[in-house]
Chain A
Amino acid sequence: MVWGTIIAAYLFLAGLSAGAFLTSSYAARRYPEAKTVRFVGRLISPILMGIGLLLLIVDAEAGLKDPLRFIYLFTNFSSVMTIGTYFISFFMMAAAYIALMELLKKDTSKIVEYVGIIFAVATAIYTGFLIGVIGAVPLWNTAILPILFVVSAFSTGIAGTMLVSAIMDKKVVHMVMSIKKIHLTLLVAEVLLIFTMFLITSSTNESAAQSVSMILSGEYSILFWLGLVVVGLIVPIAIEALELWNSKKLHHTPAGLEVAASGSHGIAATMITESAVLAGGFILRYLLLAAAVPVIFL
């Protein structure tokens, strides 16, 4: 593995950060009363991106020894990494500004927020393009990968935001039912995308087929089926679907919310779901890097 666990963690955190930013922007508009969700999303977004970038710096040994070299990252426009560096820079500036305004309890600039939304989406997509353009690794070299990464980024972003929000205020989870609906849709889409990608790429060439069989039935099969499919996708889909179904029975009144928050489907379900989604998001990226079989050139 040329790119190992550190890069998998970075790809995961970048997607999570972008997703959290979008979740908070959505919550701010759709649910002005769900302040916790907005606050949490806005705050964790730049923090998680920052941790991701620190990991990148640690992994880039030559740059770590001579940090001024990182300025050169802005120079080659034919490199997806350079383009990503610009995306992340703009995203980080917007996210940090908005987090600061949130902490100072000041109004945020709408323009900065829109810029943040655009570059959050760009950041999430770029992580897919970063490895997607590598012709040397057929498993990555597919058009579905960037889409899968975006869907997974939004899904983990919602999960991260809801997890921290639920810890801070267990009532708030039941105020944002449409976020739960979006989350369920994303998770189902992720299942479809993963299997479409594996099915199509495995029939394109030998290296891709080898990668896919490593994941589906080889050395990474337990991590894939148990970690990603069961824990990361099926369990959250089941709980989320059940929660949505139950919530229909409760009226959206303060009393109903109280019942929801303290009842059988309290925050425990949310905590389990969101933690599972986060674990799945990391496992997905780790598997894709670990099973990267290069083109056989002889």
Chain B
Amino acid sequence: MARYGMVIDTRKCVGCYACRVSCQMQNELPVEESYIKFYEKETGVFPNVKNEIIPVQCQHCEDAPCVSVCPTKATYTTKEGIVLVDADKCIGCKYCMVACHYGARTQDHNTGVVEKCRFCAELVAEGKQPACVSTCISNARIFGDLDDPNSEVSKAIVKMNAQPLRPDLGKAKIYYVR
């Protein structure tokens, strides 16, 4: 069984928002709602400074606090390690939104259901790539099986020493190159 994960190379990300737009199209989201948020971070001291653009979405944590906190079991982890929301079980209590370390969840005010990045589970099931990955203009995103050492994503993690945003906050399945 595959265990899906992703690498995001912030050195390659130009902040074009193509991933966000394709995500919105794939998930039929309105303009103001999105599952990918962009953060900018400046590091260093002049003249050695770096400006980093960091796209953040659901990190699909192995030990996801949203899953343990959800009172209705609407949020669950699939066998492939993708964290999903069962829209028919969600009551919209927003406990998962409060519990998420990455602020990755949003509430759809038409249905009241809380949603987030789903690693495009339906595309992945067809053997395709998530929309944000296939649309990225600079190949900053790599998606695949973390358990397969020969997968592109596993090799990239090793080669570029990719790390989760905050390993101390739980076992995330999105790795960043920064």
Q: Does B98 contact A (CB under 8 A)?
A: yes
Please, what's the 1-or-0 string for A60-92, where 1 marks a CB less than 8 Å from any CB in chain B? 111111000110110110111110010000000
Please, what's the 1-or-0 string for A122-139, where 1 marks a CB less than 8 Å from any CB in chain B? 000000000101111100
Q: Is the CB of A79 within 8 A of B70?
A: yes
Contacts of A65 in B (CB 8 A): 111-112
Q: State A2–B100 Cα separation when bound (angstroms).
A: 11
Q: Does A294 contact B (CB under 8 A)?
A: yes
Q: How far is the CB of A225 from chain B (nearest CB, A)?
A: 27
Classify the secondary structure of B's interface with A.
Answer: loop
Q: Does B58 contact A (CB under 8 A)?
A: no
Contacts of A80 in B (CB 8 A): 69
Q: Which of B11-19, B86-94, B121-129, B151-159 lines the interface with chain A?
A: B86-94
Q: Which of B26-34, B101-109, B139-147 lines the interface with chain A?
A: B101-109
Please, what's the 1-or-0 string for A256-298, where 1 marks a CB less than 8 Å from any CB in chain B? 0000000000000000000000000000000000001011011
Contact of B92 among A63, A79, A82, A292 (CB under 8 A): A63
Contacts of A60 in B (CB 8 A): 91-94, 112
Q: Is the CB of A69 within 8 A of B91?
A: yes
Q: How far is the CB of B93 from chain A (nearest CB, A)?
A: 5
Q: Does A3 contact B (CB under 8 A)?
A: yes
CB within 8 Å of A: which B67-93 residues: 68-74, 88-93
Q: State A3–B90 Cα separation when bound (angstroms).
A: 16
Q: Does A113 contact B (CB under 8 A)?
A: no
Q: How far is the CB of A73 from chain B (nearest CB, A)?
A: 5
With A62-B113, A135-B65, A136-B99 in contact, is A3–B74 under 8 Å at CB?
no
With A60-B93, A62-B113, A298-B165 in contact, is A3–B73 under 8 Å at CB?
no
Q: State A65–B110 Cα separation when bound (angstroms).
A: 10
State the B residues within 8 Å of A (CB): 39, 41, 54, 56, 65, 68-74, 88-95, 97-103, 107, 109, 111-114, 165-166, 169
Given A63-B112, A297-B56: 4 more A-B contacts, CB < 8 Å: A59-B94, A61-B112, A64-B92, A69-B91
Between A and B, 13 residue pairs with Cβ closer than 8 Å are A2-B97, A62-B91, A63-B92, A63-B112, A64-B112, A72-B74, A79-B70, A80-B69, A81-B71, A134-B65, A136-B99, A136-B101, A298-B54
The 7 closest A-B pairs by CB, nearest first: A61-B112, A63-B91, A62-B112, A62-B92, A72-B72, A81-B71, A61-B92
